[in-house]
Structure 1
Amino acid sequence: MALVLSGQGEKASPVLQFARKYCAHIGYFLGLLGFLWLLVLPTQSLSRRTYLSENAMMPGQVDVGFGSSKHLDAMQSVEHHGQDMQKVFGQLGLDSEVQRIDGGGINVHGVLRAPRSDAVEALVVAAAWDTRNGTNTDAVRLLAGLAQYTAEQVYWAKDIIFLVTDSGERGVEAWLRAYHGEGGVLRERSGLIQAALALEMPLAGAYTGLALHFEGRSGQLPNLDFLNIVKHVARQEKLPVYYHGLPDMPGRAPGVEQYLRSARLLLSQVRAQAVGSSVGVHAPFLHYGIDALTVVGLQAGGGRARDLVAVGRTVEGTLRSLNNLLERFHQSFFFYLLSGNGGFSKSGLFISIGNYVPAAVLLAAALMFHAMDLWWRQGPDVTRAESPKDRITRINTYHGFLRSTLPGSIALMVRVHVLGALLFAIPFVVPKVVVSDSTTTGYMFTMFVASVTLMLHLSDSMWNPKVASDWRQLKALVAVYVAWVVALLAVMNFSLALAMFAVVGLPLMLTRAADEQTRWTRGCTLLMLAAFSPMVVLTAIRYLVGSEAVGGSSSLFKTFLSDYSLFGSPVYPLVCLVYWPVNVLCMVIALMP
Structure 2
Amino acid sequence: MEEQKPPAARKSRLIVRLGSFLVSHSAFVSVICCVAGCITLLLLPVLAKNTYVSENALMPGSANPMFSNQDVVEANRFVKDIYETGILKDGSGMEIARLIGKHMEDVGAEVYYHKFKYRNLQFHPLCFFSSIPRTAVPQNSSACTLNGVSPVGIIRAPRGDGKESIVLVTPYNSENIKLNEALSLGLAYSVFSLLSRVVWLAKDIVWLAADSRYGEYTSVASWLKDYHNPTFSSDSGKIGIEMCFEKTENHVEEQSSFDGAAYDDFKRAGTMSAALVVKVMDKERSERDRVDIYAEASNGQMPNLDLINIVHYLAVHRQGLHVRVGTFGFLLNSALLKHVGKTLQRLTRLAESLNLGWKLGVNSADFVEGTATLASSMYYQALGVPTGPHGAFRDFQIDAITMELSPRTSLTNDNGISSFLLRSGRLIEGVIRSVNNLLEKFHQSFFLYFLTAPNKFVSVGVYMIAFALLVAPLPIVAAALFSSTANARSLTTISNNKPTNSKPVTRSGSWNWLHSAKLVFLVHLWALIVSLLPYFVSQIPHTNSTTSMLSWSLSSLLILYLLTRLTKSYVEGYQWEVLKSVMIAAASIGLSLMSIINFSTAQVGSILLVPMCLMVRPLKQPIQVPIFPAALLKILNILLAVVAFPPASLAILKGCLRGFESINIGDFWEWSEFLWVWNSATYLFVALVHLPCWYLCVHILLHN
- TM-score, normalising length from structure 2? 0.70
Deviation at 1:57, TM superposition (A): 1.2
Aligned equivalent of 1:572: 683
The aligned amino acid for 2:433 is R
In 2, Cα distance between equivalents of 1:255 and 1:135: 38
Secondary structure, in 3 states, of the residue corresponding to 2:405?
strand
After superposition, the Cα gap between the structure-2 partners of 1:148 and 1:485, relative to the gap in structure 1 and judged at 3 Å, is same
Do the aligned partners of 1:120 and 1:192 also contact (CA within 8 Å) in 2?
Answer: yes
The answer to whether residue 148 in structure 2 is matched with residue 147 in structure 1 is no
In 2, Cα distance between equivalents of 1:139 and 1:513: 61
Counterparts of 1:190-209 in structure 2, within 5 Å, are 190-203=269-282, 208-209=289-290
Secondary structure, in 3 states, of the residue corresponding to 1:328?
coil
Aligned equivalent of 2:364: 256
Aligned equivalent of 2:112: 96
Secondary structure, in 3 states, of the residue corresponding to 1:128?
coil
After superposition, the Cα gap between the structure-2 partners of 1:411 and 1:14, relative to the gap in structure 1 and judged at 3 Å, is closer
In 2, Cα distance between equivalents of 1:428 and 1:214: 30
Aligned equivalent of 2:612: 507
Deviation at 1:59, TM superposition (A): 0.8
Deviation at 1:385, TM superposition (A): 7.9
Q: 1:272 aligns with which of 360, 370, 380?
A: 380
Q: 2:225 aligns with which of 177, 186, 208?
A: 177
Aligned equivalent of 2:405: 297
The answer to whether residue 521 in structure 2 is matched with residue 414 in structure 1 is yes
Q: Higher mean Cα deviation, 499-508 or 226-235?
A: 499-508
- Encode CA deviations 1:82-136: one digit per residue, 9 max, x unaligned: 32233343333322213223324523322222222232111111122269x9963
After superposition, the Cα gap between the structure-2 partners of 1:229 and 1:19, relative to the gap in structure 1 and judged at 3 Å, is closer
Q: 2:310 aligns with which of 223, 229, 241?
A: 229
Do the aligned partners of 1:233 and 1:318 also contact (CA within 8 Å) in 2?
Answer: yes
After superposition, the Cα gap between the structure-2 partners of 1:209 and 1:523, relative to the gap in structure 1 and judged at 3 Å, is closer
Secondary structure, in 3 states, of the residue corresponding to 2:485?
coil
Matched pairs, number = 559
Q: 2:21 aligns with which of 18, 21, 37?
A: 18
Larger radius of gyration between Structure 1 and Structure 2 = 2
Counterparts of 1:425-464 in structure 2, within 5 Å, are 425-429=532-536, 438-439=544-545, 442-443=548-549, 445-447=551-553, 450-451=556-557, 454=560, 458=564
After superposition, the Cα gap between the structure-2 partners of 1:415 and 1:396, relative to the gap in structure 1 and judged at 3 Å, is farther
Deviation at 1:216, TM superposition (A): 0.9
Q: 1:109 aligns with which of 149, 152, 162?
A: 152
The answer to whether residue 450 in structure 2 is matched with residue 337 in structure 1 is yes
The two structures, once aligned, show a CA RMSD in angstroms of: 4.1
Do the aligned partners of 2:618 and 2:701 also contact (CA within 8 Å) in 1?
Answer: no
In 1, Cα distance between equivalents of 2:582 and 2:527: 18
The aligned amino acid for 1:102 is Y
Aligned equivalent of 1:473: 578
Deviation at 1:537, TM superposition (A): 2.5
The answer to whether residue 393 in structure 2 is matched with residue 285 in structure 1 is yes
- Encode CA deviations 1:253-296: one digit per residue, 9 max, x unaligned: 98222211111111110111111344331111112211011111
In 2, Cα distance between equivalents of 1:511 and 1:108: 59
In 2, Cα distance between equivalents of 1:590 and 1:388: 30
- Encode CA deviations 1:175-214: one digit per residue, 9 max, x unaligned: 2111111787971222211101111211379952212111
Aligned equivalent of 1:531: 643
After superposition, the Cα gap between the structure-2 partners of 1:330 and 1:557, relative to the gap in structure 1 and judged at 3 Å, is farther
- Encode CA deviations 1:402-431: one digit per residue, 9 max, x unaligned: 42x333322222222222222222344466
Aligned equivalent of 1:76: 80
Q: 1:42 aligns with which of 37, 45, 48?
A: 45
- Segments of structure 1 that go 5 or more residues without pairing to the other structure are 1-10, 342-347, 548-553
Q: 2:484 aligns with which of 377, 386, 406?
A: 377
- TM-score, normalising length from structure 1? 0.82
In 2, Cα distance between equivalents of 1:161 and 1:432: 41
Do the aligned partners of 1:364 and 1:483 also contact (CA within 8 Å) in 2?
Answer: yes
The answer to whether residue 60 in structure 2 is matched with residue 59 in structure 1 is yes
Aligned equivalent of 2:261: none
Secondary structure, in 3 states, of the residue corresponding to 1:119?
coil
The aligned amino acid for 1:237 is Q
Secondary structure, in 3 states, of the residue corresponding to 2:43?
helix
Q: Give the percent of matched residue pairs that are identical in Structure 1 and Structure 2.
A: 24
Aligned equivalent of 1:216: 297
- Encode CA deviations 1:286-331: one digit per residue, 9 max, x unaligned: 1221101111124579xx9951221111001100111111110011
Q: 1:242 aligns with which of 324, 337, 349?
A: 324
- Encode CA deviations 1:484-518: one digit per residue, 9 max, x unaligned: 23233335533211211133333222321889359
